[in-house]
Amino acid sequence: MNFSIQETELAGLWLVQPKVFKDDRGFFMEVFNAASFHSLGLQYPFLQDNLSHSTKNTVRGLHYQAEPFAQGKLVTVLQGDVLDVVVDIRKSSPTYGKAASFQLTENNRQMLFIPPGFAHGFSVLSETCLFFYKCTQVYNKASEGGLRWNDPALSIDWLVNQPILSEKDQELPLLADLLSPFE
């Protein structure tokens, strides 16, 4: 098996560690293998791949898509270092409104599987970052939603002093005002 998974404190959210083969030339690793993922219980189809490039102190998120375009995501850092953040927005979940963060780097090669029902974002800790997303659904603008990155109720330490944000991300609702589309 070229992957191991670790359950996190938020049900359905998995930290994935690929097996990395290193030698004098560099390294090789599988980023995704359907049979391996299915044998680990991660049986989601992936329909779209995304790649973003960001500079230091960028904060992207916290984003989600509602049904019928709700996305599960397998995310990893190809180059750089990020703090990856998720918030459980499944209304019936015992961890509703709880945030968790993970440092994903080009050196630890860890991946995070985020199922539908979570808002997701990240902050860039290195000078630049290449961030890769495998998504279980295609992007649909009409289905997108999010949470404000600096909501005091979430108490997220993004590890950046002067965040660079999009206008859209600065105007997202607080958790207290969210009408979550996820049961």
- Give me the domains of the chain, ranges plus CATH numbers: 47-177 (2.60.120.10)
Query: Looking at residue 37, what is its pLDDT?
Result: 86
Which parts of the chain are beta strand (E)? 3-7, 14-18, 21-23, 26-28, 48-55, 59-65, 73-79, 81-88, 99-105, 111-114, 118-124, 128-135, 144-146
**Which strands, in side-by-side order, build the sheet including 81-88?**
99-105, 81-88, 118-124, 59-65, 144-146
**What does the pLDDT read at residue 120?**
98
Q: From the candidates 44, 63, 64, 120, which is the catalytic residue? A: 63
Quote the pLDDT of residue 39: 87
Distance CA 4, CA 103 (A): 17
**Nearest C-alpha neighbor of 118 from the set 149, 87, 92, 93:** 87
What pLDDT does residue 154 have? 97
pTM of the predicted protein model: 0.94
Question: Which one of 44, 53, 133, 139 is the catalytic residue?
Answer: 133
- Asked about 63 being catalytic, the answer comes back as yes
Question: Which pLDDT value is given to residue 96?
Answer: 97
pLDDT at position 40? 82
The pLDDT tens digits along the chain (183 residues) read: 788 989 999 999 999 999 999 999 999 988 888 888 888 888 889 999 999 999 999 999 999 999 999 999 999 999 999 999 999 999 999 999 999 999 999 999 999 999 999 999 999 999 999 999 999 999 999 999 999 999 999 999 999 999 999 999 999 999 999 999 999
Q: What letter would DSSP give residue 37?
A: H
Q: Is 133 a catalytic residue?
A: yes
Residues 159, 123 contacting (CB under 8 angstroms)? yes
User: What does the H/E/C string look like for 141-157?
Assistant: HHHEEECCCCCCCCCCC
* pLDDT tens-digit readout, 43-77: 889 999 999 999 999 999 999 999 999 999 999 99
Q: Would you say how long the chain is, in residues?
A: 183
What local confidence, expressed as pLDDT, does residue 54 receive?
Answer: 98
- Considering only CA atoms, give the Rg of the chain: 16
Preceding peptide of 165 cis, ω within 30°? no
